[in-house]
Chains A and B, each alone.
Chain A
Amino acid sequence: MQIFHHSTNTIAKVSIFGGVFLVAASLWVLAEINRSSYNTGQYIEVQQPVQFSHKHHVGDDGIDCRYCHTSVEVSNTAGMPPTKTCMNCHSQIWNESPYLEIVRASYRENKPIEWARVHDLPDFVYFNHSIHVNKGVGCASCHGRVDTMPAVYQAAPLQMEWCLACHREPERYLRPKDKITDMHWNIDDEGVTTNSENRLAENLSDERRKLGLQLKRDNRVRDAATITSCSTCHR
């Protein structure tokens, strides 16, 4: 006498397989959620108190990054421009624009403007702009094409695997030192925008790889073991 129906066999098989599948699928879903911009904040435009357009200032006017972000070559932070920097120009041009009233008020009343942070690393990560810039990592490699962004968003996921992709193979991302702030330089080769693209090493052209290795030697970039040691970023 059979207690169970024949279909039970199928159900059992399916549920065993389904169980495994379910676990795998939910892990995959979790990983995807973890990497999604919902979690990383990637691609999300951040509203600022002043409607400042990088597209206009960098793309149209061609102002160099370092005009405002002055300490990028010497300090851990690239530096946010003081109101004075804005007023260098805007005391002369657009000096009556209602958009800039906040800036003028800040200058007048000696009260700083509170900008919203776009690239926010966790507090246990110690990132230093100056060493990256001095070793040949371009601004656009991490910050994306800022010259096309009316409102700046986070172009890269800023997750640890994304950092490590470069620390393991810096040659893929190095550029000549005079091209650091260049927004147009070979950016397409680098594929900085997502985590998954970083793993596609074969995308790199031979010429680009050769240049990268040459730059790694010339700029005396330390070996991968050293720059992937935990204390490089965590302390």
Chain B
Amino acid sequence: MHIKDTFPELYQIRKRPVSIEGVRAKLQEKRGREYWQSLEELAGSEEFEELLHREFPQHAAEWDDSTDRRTFLKLMGASLALAGLAGCSYQPPESIVPYVRQPEDLVPGKALYFATAMPFTGGCAPLLVRSYMGRPIKVEGNDLHPASLGAADVFAQASILGLYDPDRSQNLINRGEVRTYSGFLGELLTALEGQRGKQGAGLRFLSETVTSPTVGALMRDIKRRWPGSQWYQWEPAGGNNGSLGVRQAAGGFATPVYNFAAADRVLSLDSNFLECGPGALRYARDLASRRRANDGDTREICRLYAVETTPTNTGFFADNRVALKPSQFAAYVRGLAAAVGASSPALAGGTATSDEQLNKIAADLKAHAGACLVIAGDEAAPEIHALAHAMNTALGSVGKTVTYVEPIEENPTDQLNDLRTLVGEIDAGAVDILVIIGGNPVYTTPADLKLDEARMKKVRLAAHLSPYDDETSELCHWHIPQTHFLEEWGDTRAFDGTVTIQQPLITPLYNGKSACELLAAFTDNPDRRGYDIVRQYWLTEGRAALLGGAAAAGASGLAIPGASGTTPSATAAPSSTPAQAGANGGGNPPLGGGAAAPTSNTATGSNGAAPSTGAATPDAAFERAWRRALNDGFVANSAKRPAGGGGAGAAPNAGAAQGATTTPPATAQPAAPAAAGAYEIVFRTDPSVHDGRFSNNGWLQELPKPLTKLTWDNVAIISPVTAEKLGVGMAPDGAVEAGGPRRVNRLNYKGGEVEAETLRLTYRGRVFPDKNNKMHEEMVVPVFILPGQPDDVVTVQLGYGRWRSGRVGGNLREGRRGFNAYDLRTSDAMWSGTGLGVEATGDSYNLACTQIHFRMEGREIVRAGTFAEWKRDPTLAPERERKKEPPQPAGENREPEGGETMYPPYDYSEHEEVGRRGYKWGMAIDVATCVGCNACVVACQAENNIPVVGKEQVSRSREMHWLRVDAYFRGATEGPDGVYFMPVPCQQCENAPCEAVCPVHATVHSAEGLNDMVYNRCVGTRYCSNNCPYKVRRFNFLLFQDWDTPSLKMMRNPEVSVRSRGVMEKCTYCVQRIEYAKMEAEKESRKVRDGEIKTACQATCPTEAIIFGDLNDPNSRVAKLHAQKRRYDLLADLNTRPRTAYLGSVRNPNEDIGTGGAGRGESGNNAHGEA
């Protein structure tokens, strides 16, 4: 009998409602809290209070598994006896296996760093990869590369787990049987013989967006050999709309490169540019450099407007946010464009409106003409992009904040059109050989152009190169395992066109093939190694670019940080470049200033010079340039030239270019079928698994999504008003309380578990498969109420519901994870559509959401103010604190009077004994610039061997992340002003409450002020986490680490202990990095330099919101930040004196149009707010 049956009341699922009215009332009360994290907190329900006062939710410590207690005890009896004996045994004997011949540069025990790049959706993440004894174990951004400057995003950080994923495809499979590559080549060559007569007219290639010069050259070579063949590109969530938008505005393809550092006013049109897209890291860095309010610097900080159809990090980071329904979006943007005086064919019909808010935004933009930047998101329709470009032209941004360069894609194309053509050809039976290079089109294609089984059967020979044996592989005759980017030679371009030659860090684990190697099979020389192919390209076609860049360093329009032209060694430790001086960390080189057209690199790969397949011999100059490119991680000055041949500032002349050949695609939403519902649907990629390609990555699956803090699932996001309208969450037992039946919002608690109501979606009469592949006319999805969502709009995330992913991502056998939003997506409504029918089912679904985990009882956590307020009082202290006491001198902790403390002070005097001042490690976290991208969380997980626990465990609040990013909403639930993101790691308190209560001294103060956690002493009492006011300690309730899978053993950081069950753990300030840097400095008899130690979270942060260093050094960056007036300590009144300080957020909203986006969403259906 299960314990559940014995004590049902313990397990009773509480269904007490959280009422919208209550929430609203709370907000309207003057004493109501200004900041809140979840609707439940606002409503202050009983359950929430209870949850709050528990360190872990009810039953968190409980063994609740299918194994019943008796079986468990039986099993444990046996294993306990063994465990007792095992404790007395010797350490198992180990052996040492040295090399036979040791590689030249390798020093055992020391890490090597190699520069490479991760190709990703039409761009790349430039990386510096740390490798221990031949095993890549951690990636960092390449600090020399203009697209990274040291930062990396979540996907790059998690790519290490992707490399060692035990579910990766390990065999070449032909119709279900394991075969060899030569077997594949044999069948392919036979099939190609059949194509010889018709010049390859039946040969089709389908790839993702290609920016690799070598792949481009191979494709051109193939086209020469097989003139009838066609190369199509399809990416479900790439920059297709952006490319089309530029073409619409300028009459040809070009890539816009933005310079946020030069912008005083930024307008984002449905763009999540801080988080998505190839340039996101650089854009975030540049924008952040204009968003820091520094003492003594009165220059106005940049103002960011966001107009968007669903909440994004960028939108909530904005100063003024406008939430619109997709159907109203185009009209609004047209109004804006007209109001700023833009002229564009796309403007047709758009005239000045009387919308006051809109006009004020436009006026503000116009007042800052020349320092404005308008950017449209990948999800916005091409015409929106065209309007954005026209607005940039009208506002004089071109050449200042926007530069147009030649397209970075090898073969820019309309991808949707490509797919449509391909599907048409397949249907017509014209495709004999289909080669799918990467991607997963069977899963990702829109429902009306689905590459489904029926279609794939019409192809005579289909081959799929893919890292996983996935949905597409299943329907192809051949599946060829693809190498991970860390296993292959290749090349790729960053957002501005800068080329990185990728070098492998490890031999392919599973005999995979790279795209280059597979494509070589169609050329004259079919069996070539990736290295030879890439090198051959750069020896011949790419030679001029490679050498030219090296020769003419500094001639490019895009300045490269660090002294390019000197010899920086990318293979040295990444922290060797001293941090840029100054507390604001600004001073990044200007980007895309468009000052001078490069002169030397005239022959870029895309010019299609005939490649000489003969053996060109590498000379000394080539060898030097090649090695340098590999060492630095990019080819100097390989950024694309400004487009249009007109040199700098070649603006697409929006007025002149009528786009004669390019009629604007139909962007208007097709009329909804008559009987369809009144709701609109918005599609977005998932912040964690993107378009589904990362769905088997446990780190990403478990990563709380920035705004919803959900893990392991996708949901349908609706606004609170819509929820009320739909009656989502009518109390299930029909409980009627005083005042009629109340609406529950979305949460009920069983421990920390979230029970979400489900919705039934119907969409344009389509049918959807359920979990058992039965077809239904409706799709049932869990709902999540997110403040800030426009009313009557349902946002769904792509990337879930896969039926042939791995053990993590879900499959048919073990059950799908989430629902498949691609089933709802059609080619005429790729990112949004009308005609969605929505109704509540009354059922519920369990979600694992961390929003309510580890709360800090609603105390004054976030400090924020407007720029004007900051100028008045730079401390940003809340009203009551200011009344109580005068602002304290900067840098001082606000302790209780007299500094009374229960904790005995730590004696640091021993440092002076040897005549040297010791280190005092500290950290500063800037709430003003944190964009909530989560890169720090994954970086921490990779660096510190943090395990994945799974959905069930997350719902019990057992997630192990050492660092969490709290999201604090502010303002009304209908239209919150914004979200303040706040990374919370261990605060390393001076008076640490955790240390005082540990009975075994497992957590103790170090001489440099760290709260050391000694795993081998810990006996798991959990007193420390009970006593931690910040709730940053994590306990290994179960054996979360995978000790057995061989590939995962290779992944772990050897510098950090792998923790076992029953041990407490927490952030250590990356003490392994501290110790390493200290030892290196000691060996040279010097002190650790400022910036030499970067914690994992700091190193990867795109906005430099986290800074670590020595507080005893008054010139260190962190000490200067601690001295800023807007610095505050978290829960300072507890007198824990944390070493981590926060900097209050300063935003710069346009006061004329009310605070933030409040009010906009309130009016529901009304397009123009108050109007």
Partners in one complex: yes
Instruction: Give the contact stretch, choosing among B493-501, B1078-1086, B1129-1137.
Output: B1078-1086
Q: How large is the interface on A (under 10, 10 to 19, 20 to 34, 35 or more residues)?
A: 35 or more
A134 sits at the interface (CB 8 A): yes
In contact, A231 and B1068 (Cβ under 8 angstroms)? yes
Residues 76-114 of chain A: 1 if any B CB is under 8 Å from the residue's CB, otherwise 0? 110111111000000000000000000000110011111
Q: Which of A208-235 contact B (CB under 8 A)?
A: 216-217, 220-226, 228-232, 234-235
In contact, B918 and A226 (Cβ under 8 angstroms)? yes
A115 sits at the interface (CB 8 A): yes
A106 smallest CB distance to B (angstroms): 6
Q: Measured between alpha carbons, how far is A223 from B1082 in the docked complex, in Å?
A: 13
Q: Measured between alpha carbons, how far is A124 from B1056 in the docked complex, in Å?
A: 8
Instruction: Give the contact stretch, choosing among A13-21, A125-133, A179-187, A198-206.
Output: A125-133
From DSSP, what is the main secondary structure of chain B's interface residues? loop
Residues of B within 8 A of A110 (CB): 100-101
- Output the nearest chain A residue to B1003 by Cβ-Cβ distance: A230
B1008 sits at the interface (CB 8 A): yes
A159 smallest CB distance to B (angstroms): 13
Tell which of B90, B915, B1012, B1015 touches A124, judged by Cβ atoms closer than 8 Å. Answer: B1015
Q: Measured between alpha carbons, how far is A110 from B101 in the docked complex, in Å?
A: 8
In contact, A235 and B102 (Cβ under 8 angstroms)? no
Instruction: Give the contact stretch, choosing among B107-115, B324-332, B810-818.
Output: B107-115
B552 sits at the interface (CB 8 A): no
Residues of B within 8 A of A82 (CB): 98-102
Q: Measured between alpha carbons, how far is A106 from B101 in the docked complex, in Å?
A: 10
Residues of B within 8 A of A84 (CB): 99-102
In contact, A41 and B1071 (Cβ under 8 angstroms)? no
Tell which of B97, B914, B1085 touches A112, judged by Cβ atoms closer than 8 Å. Answer: B97
Given A71-B110, A82-B99, also A226-B911 (CB < 8 A): yes
In contact, A225 and B911 (Cβ under 8 angstroms)? yes
Tell which of A77, A216, A225 touches B108, judged by Cβ atoms closer than 8 Å. Answer: A77
In contact, B910 and A224 (Cβ under 8 angstroms)? yes
- Output the nearest chain A residue to B95 by Cβ-Cβ distance: A114
In contact, B1007 and A225 (Cβ under 8 angstroms)? yes
Q: Which of A28-70 contact B (CB under 8 A)?
A: 41
B1075 sits at the interface (CB 8 A): yes
A95 smallest CB distance to B (angstroms): 17
A182 smallest CB distance to B (angstroms): 20
In contact, A234 and B1007 (Cβ under 8 angstroms)? no
Residues of A within 8 A of B879 (CB): none
In contact, A226 and B1008 (Cβ under 8 angstroms)? yes
Residues of A within 8 A of B95 (CB): 114-117
Residues of B within 8 A of A107 (CB): 100
A196 sits at the interface (CB 8 A): no
Tell which of A79, A83, A124, A230 touches B109, judged by Cβ atoms closer than 8 Å. Answer: A79
Given A71-B108, A116-B93, A130-B1083, also A230-B1072 (CB < 8 A): no
B91 sits at the interface (CB 8 A): yes
Q: Measured between alpha carbons, how far is A14 from B1010 in the docked complex, in Å?
A: 51
In contact, A117 and B96 (Cβ under 8 angstroms)? yes
In contact, B98 and A113 (Cβ under 8 angstroms)? yes
In contact, A122 and B1079 (Cβ under 8 angstroms)? no
B1055 sits at the interface (CB 8 A): yes
- Output the nearest chain B residue to A219 by Cβ-Cβ distance: B1085
Given A106-B100, A115-B98, also A134-B1082 (CB < 8 A): yes
Q: Which of B109, B1006, B1008 has the most CB of A within 10 A?
A: B109
Q: Measured between alpha carbons, how far is A115 from B98 in the docked complex, in Å?
A: 8
In contact, B109 and A223 (Cβ under 8 angstroms)? no
A120 sits at the interface (CB 8 A): yes
Given A79-B109, A225-B911, also A235-B1057 (CB < 8 A): yes
B96 smallest CB distance to A (angstroms): 5
In contact, A131 and B1082 (Cβ under 8 angstroms)? yes
Tell which of B97, B1014, B1079 touches A114, judged by Cβ atoms closer than 8 Å. Answer: B97
In contact, A131 and B98 (Cβ under 8 angstroms)? no
In contact, A229 and B1008 (Cβ under 8 angstroms)? yes
Q: Which of B1041-1079 contact A (CB under 8 A)?
A: 1055-1058, 1068, 1071-1072, 1074-1075, 1079
In contact, A232 and B100 (Cβ under 8 angstroms)? no
Q: Measured between alpha carbons, how far is A52 from B472 in the docked complex, in Å?
A: 57
In contact, A229 and B1057 (Cβ under 8 angstroms)? no
Q: Measured between alpha carbons, how far is A113 from B97 in the docked complex, in Å?
A: 6
In contact, B96 and A128 (Cβ under 8 angstroms)? no
Residues of B within 8 A of A229 (CB): 1004, 1006-1008, 1010, 1012
Q: Measured between alpha carbons, how far is A115 from B100 in the docked complex, in Å?
A: 13
Residues of B within 8 A of A230 (CB): 1004, 1006, 1012, 1014
Residues of B within 8 A of A120 (CB): 91, 93-94
Tell which of A111, A116, A130, A220 touches B1079, judged by Cβ atoms closer than 8 Å. Answer: A130
In contact, B98 and A80 (Cβ under 8 angstroms)? yes
A109 smallest CB distance to B (angstroms): 9
In contact, B98 and A81 (Cβ under 8 angstroms)? yes
Q: How large is the interface on B (under 10, 10 to 19, 20 to 34, 35 or more residues)?
A: 35 or more
In contact, A235 and B96 (Cβ under 8 angstroms)? no
Q: Measured between alpha carbons, how far is A27 from B1057 in the docked complex, in Å?
A: 31
Q: Measured between alpha carbons, how far is A235 from B1083 in the docked complex, in Å?
A: 21
In contact, A223 and B1057 (Cβ under 8 angstroms)? no
Residues of A within 8 A of B1056 (CB): 235
In contact, B1010 and A231 (Cβ under 8 angstroms)? yes
B89 smallest CB distance to A (angstroms): 11
In contact, B1057 and A124 (Cβ under 8 angstroms)? yes
Q: Which of B70-128 contact A (CB under 8 A)?
A: 90-91, 93-102, 107-110
Residues of A within 8 A of B93 (CB): 116-117, 120
Q: Measured between alpha carbons, how far is A134 from B1084 in the docked complex, in Å?
A: 9
A74 sits at the interface (CB 8 A): yes
Residues 874-911 of chain B: 1 if any A CB is under 8 Å from the residue's CB, otherwise 0? 00000000000000000000000000000000001011
Residues of A within 8 A of B913 (CB): 223
A188 sits at the interface (CB 8 A): no
Residues of A within 8 A of B1057 (CB): 123-124, 234-235
B1016 sits at the interface (CB 8 A): yes
Given A83-B100, A223-B918, also A117-B1010 (CB < 8 A): no
B636 smallest CB distance to A (angstroms): 31
Q: Which of B968-998 contact A (CB under 8 A)?
A: none
Q: Measured between alpha carbons, how far is A226 from B908 in the docked complex, in Å?
A: 10
- Output the nearest chain B residue to A118 by Cβ-Cβ distance: B96
Q: Measured between alpha carbons, how far is A220 from B102 in the docked complex, in Å?
A: 33
Residues of B within 8 A of A116 (CB): 93-96
A227 smallest CB distance to B (angstroms): 8
Residues of A within 8 A of B1014 (CB): 230, 234
In contact, B1083 and A79 (Cβ under 8 angstroms)? no
Q: Measured between alpha carbons, how far is A225 from B1008 in the docked complex, in Å?
A: 9
A175 sits at the interface (CB 8 A): no
In contact, A124 and B910 (Cβ under 8 angstroms)? no
Residues of A within 8 A of B96 (CB): 80, 114-117
A122 smallest CB distance to B (angstroms): 7
Residues of A within 8 A of B98 (CB): 79-83, 112-113, 115
A75 sits at the interface (CB 8 A): yes
In contact, A217 and B914 (Cβ under 8 angstroms)? yes
In contact, B110 and A75 (Cβ under 8 angstroms)? yes
- Output the nearest chain A residue to B1074 by Cβ-Cβ distance: A231
A216 smallest CB distance to B (angstroms): 8
* Cβ-closest 7 pairs across A and B: A229-B1006, A80-B98, A75-B109, A77-B109, A225-B910, A230-B1012, A82-B99
Given contacts A83-B101, A114-B97, A235-B1057, 8 further A-B contacts (CB under 8 A): A74-B110, A124-B1015, A134-B1082, A222-B1082, A223-B918, A225-B910, A226-B1006, A231-B1006
15 A-B contact pairs sorted by A residue (CB < 8 Å): A71-B109, A71-B110, A74-B110, A77-B109, A111-B100, A113-B98, A116-B94, A123-B1058, A124-B1015, A131-B1082, A134-B1083, A225-B911, A228-B1007, A229-B1004, A235-B1055
* B residues apposed to A, CB below 8 Å: 90-91, 93-102, 107-110, 908, 910-911, 913-916, 918, 1004, 1006-1008, 1010, 1012, 1014-1016, 1055-1058, 1068, 1071-1072, 1074-1075, 1079, 1082-1083, 1085
